Amino acid sequence: MKICIYGLGAIGGLIAARLANQGIDVCAVARGATLEALRRDGLTLIEGLADQPMRRQFNIRASDDPAELGVQDVVVVSVKATAMPAVAAGIAPLLGPDTTVLSTMNGVPWWFFHGMDPALAKLRLDTLDPDGRIAAAIPAERVVGTVTHLSAANQGPGVVRHVAGNGILVGEPSGGAQTPRSQAIVAVLRQAGFEIGESASIQQDIWYKLWGNMTVNPVSGLTGATTDQLLDDDYVRHFMSRCMREAAAIGGRIGITIDNDPEERHQVTRRLGAFRTSMLQDVEAGKPVELDALVGAVLEIARQVNVEAPNIEALMGLSRLHAHLRGLYPAYLPGANTSA
């Protein structure tokens, strides 16, 4: 199986290194300092205890021109949602008639409603794909979805550290993971050492993960606080809970039920200790933030299914203004009730 990782960030780098470790034919689309590091030193994976790290290096073929890499069996798209327009513009040389695109992104993806109730097909996600270019370049029929339950961090160009967790859920947008292409992906990821679950409804699993991430990520980016500090403040925790109840109501309108209480989800987050979310790290590094995939798309769905979400609107407004003033979120019309 020929696999290309499009985007060697923390998760993409971890997947690439694990595949390379098993001798699987893996290549990568990379640019800038990351590409230079790969060509000079290879891809470095750090695992193990902080005081006894194990470093391994893997030579993988990489290019900033997908045409040099050729048609693949699987393309793993592992970029921030903000980078998807660039991926859509460049991915064509990697795609043959039977190439599968494995989506490993955070938040609501562009293909979210594919395979769900046909009545939902009319819902649009203009916050994610306003001109339809992503859907045209990567048709939903090509996609197999994932939800990652692991964490990794970049420690410099071409260097990734596995932090915690090892789980990946895999599922077809139409449900289950029993198709030949999904089973082939499940097998190769298990061979690479991941703990793979086969999702009965990948959209349900995406929404449940989003249910927690859509609050702690932007609130941490806005405040600079670690997750334990967010949860220790009653006002902040209760605000996040109100957002989560609204998100649960929105999910209910599209057939996705969440029975948990927000406080139960907060306790899961608390057990992870004091950590800096990915959005906080992006703000500190001056990188564009994924507000549209985590919050904006939720509001867009809410408007289309007639669910009031004033707390999520407040979360989006404060977060986008904070990011926009730092050049991390694109221009928008002040006062507009959209996230674009």
- 132 is written with which tokens? 């339809």
What type of residue sits at position 296?
G
Instruction: Respond yes or no: is residue 287 known to be catalytic.
Output: no
The helix (H) or strand (E) run that includes residue 167 is strand 159-171
Place of tokens 């694109």: 330
* DSSP H/E element including 154: strand 143-154
Q: Say which residues have a Cβ less than 8 Å from residue 35's Cβ, sequence separation at least 6.
A: 62, 63, 64
Within 10 angstroms of residue 42's Cβ, the number of other Cβ atoms is 17
Position 283, amino acid:
V
Q: State CA 9 to chain mean position distance.
A: 11
State how far the Cα of 289 lies from the Cα of 279, in Å rounded to an integer: 6
Selected catalytic residue, list 2, 80, 209, 287: 209
Find out whether 94 and 72 touch, Cβ atoms under 8 Å: yes
DSSP class of 289:
P
Residue 92's nearest CA partner among 28, 126, 136, 31 is: 136
Cα separation, 312 vs 218, in Å, equals: 11
For 142, half-sphere exposure in the C-beta direction (CA atoms, 13 angstrom radius) is 25
158 near 38, Cβ under 8 Å? yes
Coil/strand/helix, residue 146 = strand
88 contacts: CB under 8 Å, gap ≥ 6? 133, 134, 136, 137, 138
- Report d(CA 317, CA 334) in Å as an integer: 9
Residues with active-site annotation: 209
